Chains A and B, each alone.
Chain A
């Protein structure tokens, strides 16, 4: 049985099916961030998503970057924190801070 938290296996399965896939991983957190370090999200070129790296606040921004990472093949380390006007855009409304590493699956 594939457990619901096993995002890496989901990513590997998509890759096996011939899809381009990126994996995002929470590498560090501060304050009341909703998901702990090690939380993952997989994003495919065709737009499939599995897992999460926050309570839903930054997934869209991470998916955007995942698209770039798949295009360039270069990983990116992203910094998210609540910053006033940006909070509703891509920040964490809960006031936490997270770093997310986005990389292509090869």
Chain B
């Protein structure tokens, strides 16, 4: 492997561009796909690997190629730079998510509380209009304040986000659903919201709640069955 390849891969990742890394397992030659200099069949296999988000070995012609799908990291948008976000952001980041915090209140959303974090100090609806959640984005609201959570959920529901979660008790959530219904969201649409958010692992402390949320997001992303493993 060439160090220049690693540098190019890192540039692609920083730019959030999808790329397939291909390695010939006989002679060690390598490509970043798509590449005009690569055989047509290899380019096609690279694009297919990205579409399926699958990494593995392929026989092309009569050669073995390892093809690694390197899609941009999935994003997690957190509405509310609150206490639980301080546990949730690093945990999600460690799990491979690019975390973006949204909070117009600079007393909460600042670099002292979230060193090095990606922070948007705008109202959640405006922030989400710019961030444009897609099928590789999860959105979780954490503020407990309808003024902040509702516009975030409204925009999330209008997006193709693969996961939408809202922190709050069952009672809070029922009231929230009524308000979102008044905004014109159907019961089917509202069923997309995980509320109370997170898997039921009996979480008590803040990091435990963060863990339950990250676990639920991972399960949604990977299609996990959530059962206890067979003995």
Contacts and interface: CB of A to CB of B under 8 A. Distances in A.
B94 interface: yes
Contacts, number: 57
Interface in B36-76: 55-57, 66, 68
B6 A11 contact: yes
A105 B1 contact: yes
B93 interface: yes
B25 A77 contact: yes
A37 B6 contact: no
Contacts of A16: 3
Interface core residue of B1, B10, B23, B55 (most chain A CB under 10 Å): B1
Nearest to A4: B94
Contacts of B25: 27, 77, 101
Interface residues of A, number: 25
Given A37-B55, A106-B1, A8 B6 contact: yes
A70 to B, nearest CB: 13
Contact of B1 (A4, A23, A28): A23
Interface string B181-223: 0000000000000000000000000000000000000000000
Given A106-B1, A106-B3, A37 B28 contact: no
A12 B7 contact: yes
B1 A99 contact: no
22 contacts: A1-B116, A3-B94, A3-B96, A5-B96, A8-B9, A11-B1, A16-B3, A25-B66, A27-B66, A37-B57, A37-B66, A37-B68, A38-B55, A38-B68, A99-B57, A101-B23, A101-B25, A103-B1, A103-B28, A105-B1, A105-B3, A106-B2
- 10 interchain residue pairs of minimum CB distance: A38-B55, A27-B66, A28-B57, A12-B6, A75-B28, A37-B55, A37-B56, A8-B6, A27-B57, A38-B68
Interface of A: 1, 3-5, 8-9, 11-12, 15-16, 23, 25, 27-28, 36-38, 75, 77, 99, 101, 103-106
Interface of B: 1-3, 6-7, 9-10, 23, 25, 28, 55-57, 66, 68, 93-94, 96, 116
